Structures are given as structure tokens and as C-alpha cells.
Amino acid sequence: MPLINVKNITVTYGKHKVIDNLSFSLEEGDFLCIVGPNGSGKSTLLKAILGEAKIHSGNIILDKELKRNFIGYLPQHNNIPEDFPATVNEIVYTGLLNQTHFVSSKYKKRADDALKTLGISSLKNDSYSNLSGGQRQKVLLARALCATSKLLILDEASNNLDYNSKSSFYALLKKINKTENLTIIMVTHDLDHKNLLGNKILSLDHDSPFFGSTDEYVRRIHAH
Ligand SMILES: Nc1ncnc2c1ncn2[C@@H]1O[C@H](COP(=O)(O)OP(=O)(O)OP(=O)(O)O)[C@@H](O)[C@H]1O
Ligand SMILES: [Mg+2]
């Protein structure tokens, strides 16, 4: 049984059909990258999977082991106030609270690893409100990484990251995907980091819709 089975879903806002009869499924351990131009419905699809967007027809079936509040989610636009009074560590650890009220050593290690890989360990005790835009994004990524052992959903996670930070973040995702069999769904415009993409691609581009393996997708692009 697939971890996520999206069956013929249509999502509309008023008269506007944003997602039109889309179907695909993911197995545990898949790493899906969603691509497509602005406004093609990428964020809307993530919200539909999370149960935050109303589906007009069709349905999305999640494996019964996958509870919606055990999904790590980094939205494209967050609602954390600029002057939120918390340290980096405090923000990161809120990602852990949906699964445990104690910060167990396993998840603490994951938080520490994420901060280290993203190069912000030294900021642990700094105030979130004093960080730069890219540094804040890294803190939120570390938080999403800690929030789940099942499914991680990232919407344009590399916003604000410089080139090296992007590469090391993608490499970290790939490593966690392999070693922990964590399923990942990521919206991205960074197709130039091909070796760091996941195993599957979904394109919501109306002119070139696609769902399948990344290898196949890359072959098609080169064939054009
Ligand atoms: N809450 C909403 N109410 C009405 N229309 C919406 C709403 N959310 C999204 N839309 C519309 O749905 C379409 C798809 O939006 P969505 O945010 O899913 O696109 P996207 O592929 O994530 O784009 P981007 O690459 O810019 O993030 C857009 O035309 C947008 O205006
Ligand atoms: Mg979006």
C-alpha cells in the first residue's frame, strides 16, 4: 500500500481550477521534487496533502501509520513575527513537540546535526529576531527536520540560501532520506542541483506535465 495515494484530485478556488484531475502515488522512502511555474498549484497541492486545502473532487489517501500531525512542514510563507522572542534552540525544539514532550537524544542529535550542516551551530543561543533572512530560513529548516520521522514537506525550502548552503542542505536531505528512510516532498525551482534531487519528479507545468523517475525526467529535458 502506498504511503500517499493521490487519486484524481481537482482543487478549485472559485471558478479557477488550480489542480485538474491529478493522480500519483508515493511509497515510503520516496523523495519527490515538485516543479512547475509560479501559480501552477505546487503550494496548493502540498496544502491538499496536509488537509489544509479543500479538494473539490477525488481524494488523497494517507497510509494509516501516517498521522497528519507527525508531518514536518515548512510552508513557503511562515507566520512567525519578525520580533518573535525566542532563541534559535527554542524555535528548533518546537519542531519536536508534536512527537514528544521530552527532547529525546535521538531528536536532539538530529536538531544539532541540522544546525551543524546548515552552519549555524554557533547561533544556538542567539535571539531569532536578530538573525538575517537566510539564517532564519536555516533555523526553520532545522525545525521542520526535527518534526518528523515519517514525512517531510518543504515548500521552496532554499529561499534565501546562498549557493553553498543550498548544496549542503540538499545533500543533508538526501542523506536523511537514505539513512532514515524518511519520505520527502519538496517544491523546488533548483533543477541545476540535479545530482541532489530526489528519485521522483512531479511537474505541474501545463505544457509539460510529468510524474515519474528523476532519471526519466532529466532524459526528456535533454531530448528537447
Ligand atoms: N487561498 C487562495 N484563494 C484563492 N486563490 C488562491 C489561493 N491560494 C492560491 N490561489 C491561486 O491558485 C493558484 C496556484 O497557487 P499556488 O500558490 O499553489 O502556486 P505555486 O505553484 O505554489 O506558485 P509559486 O511558484 O509562485 O509559489 C494561483 O493562481 C493563486 O493565485
Ligand atoms: Mg508556492
pLDDT of residue 131: 92
- 10 Å Cβ neighbour count for 59? 11
Q: How far does residue 204's CA lie from ligand 1's centre (Å)? A: 12
User: What is d(CA 153, CA 146) in angstroms, rounded to the nearest whole number?
Assistant: 12
E strand residue ranges, 65-150: 71-74
Q: 180 near 109, Cβ under 8 Å?
A: no
Helix axes 163-180, 105-117, angle to 10 degrees: 150
In the chain, domain spans? 4-223
Over its C-alpha atoms, the chain yields an Rg (Å, rounded) of 17
pLDDT tens, position by position, 143-188: 888 877 789 999 998 888 888 888 888 888 898 899 889 999 999 9
Average the pLDDT over 95-112 and give the result.
70
User: What is d(CA 191, CA 183) in angstroms, rounded to the nearest whole number?
Assistant: 19
Q: How far does residue 78's CA lie from ligand 1's centre (Å)? A: 15
Mutational test site, ligand 1, from 9, 10, 35, 44, max ligand atoms within 8 Å of CB: 44
Instruction: Please state, rounded to an integer, the average pLDDT across all residues of the chain.
Output: 89
The C-alpha cell at 208 is 509539460
For residue 100, pLDDT over 60 is answered with: no
Mutational test site, ligand 1, from 10, 11, 40, 206, max ligand atoms within 8 Å of CB: 40
- Which numbered atom of ligand 1 lies nearest the CA of 53? 1
Global pTM value: 0.91
Q: How far does residue 42's CA lie from ligand 1's centre (Å)? A: 8
Grouping H, G, I as helix, E, B as strand and the rest as coil, residue 182 is coil
For residue 107, pLDDT over 80 is answered with: no
Q: List, chain by chain if needed, residues with CB within 6 Å of any ligand 1 atom.
A: 13, 18, 36, 38-44, 76
Q: Which CATH number applies to 4-223?
A: 3.40.50.300
pLDDT tens, position by position, 56-80: 999 999 999 888 777 889 999 888 8
